[in-house]
């Protein structure tokens, strides 16, 4: 199966951690449809860690926890499918999962069959309790082959947190997406750390296997199970989401969609941002040179990116990761627009829909701490230069 667009969906971990159950998942499936999230493209519903009993049965099979899932997993998978969604589950390449349930090490083909029989479409595959003598890439390759042996299309979502040089080998294992960082939390510093840490991984994400910057924290507002305090501001969530989209990252929601706020929903279904994320070419952004800060040095906190989109347009993202409001200058010369070339960019703000004009030399703005601007940019003749 070609994974040609960054996968989109919802995962239970950020809100519920181990407190998952049949009813919550069914309600979530309902809400995905009712809130228009499914229609916007969020079509995988993934149950994370802690769904099984603590031990396998006598035949070595995984056993669903009946206290949490009294109707079994097949019934739940059928329900999720009946809503037009795809069903995802979780296991681990090690001997135990991160929450100390049985992992798939040494049981890969048996577990793959189990998941296929349930009707699983997506397997998140974690990296805890990996025996130290076992080779990580081989374990992902093994599960990937095991999944393929079932004859069912199951997307392998590798979750080795970027360890052991994951980006360099993971595509070769058949995985459709890969985690490149340790776990996100519902804090701005976590978002920023992840964003900065991935600037070196830009070349590794492409159709077939996408760099997963972790599940989104948009809309958690401190109510999830992975945050501390109040969560983030709307401005910070907006920057977080826009950054993931500029990198064409998988978009796995982590909020409680049953109680989604208007702000979160509007952001998550912003069709301009989703188009940027889901652009078929999935190109990494071209990085503008750093701004100069007051001391005349490159200001790492302000990042400006140009992303080529299929069809000829561009997306321009300006991100202020700094803790203070600042000015930012998009200098078009830095991305290859010679002042005399006769072309400029017509910019439309993807949040407001406002056309802010056509620029060919410099576009200057004030940008608040932790905020961003994203424009759809059209290359237009602008009458300057020697044409």
Residue 159 binds ligand GLA, judged by CB under 6 A: yes
Minimum gap (Å) between residue 182 Cβ and ligand GLA = 7
Minimum gap (Å) between residue 184 Cβ and ligand GLA = 8
Task: Go through 334-368 and write b for each residue having 16 or more CB atoms within 10 A of its CB, e for each that does not.
Answer: bbebeeebbbbbbbbebbeeeeeebbbeebeeebe
Interface pattern 176-205 for ligand GLA (x via CB under 6 A): -------x----------------------
Choose the catalytic residue: 121, 126, 277, 313: 126
Minimum gap (Å) between residue 14 Cβ and ligand GLA = 8
Task: Go through 117-138 and write b for each residue having 16 or more CB atoms within 10 A of its CB, e for each that does not.
Answer: ebbbbbbbbbbbebeeeeebbe
Q: Is 126 a residue of the active site?
A: yes
Choose the catalytic residue: 78, 183, 193, 299: 183
Strand 210-212 to 177-179 pairing: parallel
Minimum gap (Å) between residue 96 Cβ and ligand GLA = 10
Q: Is 121 a residue of the active site?
A: no
Q: Closer to ligand GLA at the Cβ: 22 or 126?
A: 126
Minimum gap (Å) between residue 102 Cβ and ligand GLA = 13
CA distance 183 to 92: 15
Q: Closer to ligand GLA at the Cβ: 73 or 273?
A: 73
Measured from the Cβ of residue 168, the count of other Cβ atoms closer than 10 Å reads 11
Number of helical H runs and strand E runs in the chain: 11, 18
Q: Closer to ligand GLA at the Cβ: 98 or 118?
A: 98
CA distance 344 to 334: 13
Q: Closer to ligand GLA at the Cβ: 97 or 291?
A: 97
Interface pattern 39-58 for ligand GLA (x via CB under 6 A): ---------xx---------
Which of 67, 143, 72 shows the shortest CA–CA distance to 111? 143
Tell which one of 32, 99, 247, 304 touches ligand GLA (CB under 6 A). Answer: 99
Q: Closer to ligand GLA at the Cβ: 126 or 371?
A: 126
The residue assigned the tokens 């706020």 is 261
Cα-atom radius of gyration of the chain, to the nearest Å?
22
List interacting residues with ligand GLA (CB under 6 A).
Answer: 13, 48-49, 97-99, 126, 159, 161, 183
């Amino acid at each position: 199966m070609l994974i040609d667009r960054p996968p989109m969906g919802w995962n239970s971990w950020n809100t519920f951690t181990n407190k998952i159950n049949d009813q919550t998942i069914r309600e979530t499936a309902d809400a995905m449809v009712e809130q228009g999230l499914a229609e916007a493209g969020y079509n995988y519903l993934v149950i994370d860690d802690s769904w099984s009993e603590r031990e396998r049965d006598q035949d070595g099979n995984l056993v669903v926890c009946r206290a949490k899932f009294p109707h079994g997993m097949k019934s739940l998978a059928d329900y999720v499918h009946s809503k037009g969604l795809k069903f995802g589950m979780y296991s681990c390449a090690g001997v135990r999962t991160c929450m100390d349930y049985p992992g798939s090490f040494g049981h890969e083909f048996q577990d793959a069959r189990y998941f296929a029989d349930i009707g699983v479409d997506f397997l998140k595959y974690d990296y805890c309790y990996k025996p130290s003598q076992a080779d990580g890439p081989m374990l992902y390759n093994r599960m990937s082959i095991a999944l393929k042996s079932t004859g069912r299309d199951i997307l392998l979502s590798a979750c080795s947190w970027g360890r052991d040089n994951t980006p360099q080998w993971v595509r070769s294992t058949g995985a459709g997406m890969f985690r490149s960082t340790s776990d996100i939390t519902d804090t701005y510093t976590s978002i920023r750390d992840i964003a900065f840490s991935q600037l070196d991984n830009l070349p590794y994400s492409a159709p077939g296997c996408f760099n997963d910057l972790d599940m989104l924290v948009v809309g958690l507002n401190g109510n999830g199970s992975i945050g501390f305090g109040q969560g983030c501001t709307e401005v910070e969530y907006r920057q977080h989401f826009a950054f993931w989209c500029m990198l064409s990252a998988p978009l796995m929601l982590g909020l409680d969609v049953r109680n989604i706020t208007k702000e979160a929903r509007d952001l998550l279904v912003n069709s301009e941002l989703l188009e940027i994320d889901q652009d078929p070419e999935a190109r990494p952004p071209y990085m503008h040179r750093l701004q100069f800060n007051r001391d005349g040095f490159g200001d790492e906190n302000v990042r400006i990116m140009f992303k080529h989109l299929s069809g000829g347009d561009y997306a321009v993202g300006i991100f202020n990761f700094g803790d203070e409001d600042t000015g930012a200058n998009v200098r078009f010369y830095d991305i290859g627009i010679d002042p005399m070339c006769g072309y400029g960019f017509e910019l439309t703000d993807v949040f407001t829909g406002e056309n802010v004009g056509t620029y060919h030399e410099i576009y200057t703005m004030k940008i608040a701490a932790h905020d961003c601007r994203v424009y759809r940019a059209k290359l237009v003749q602008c009458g300057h230069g020697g044409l």
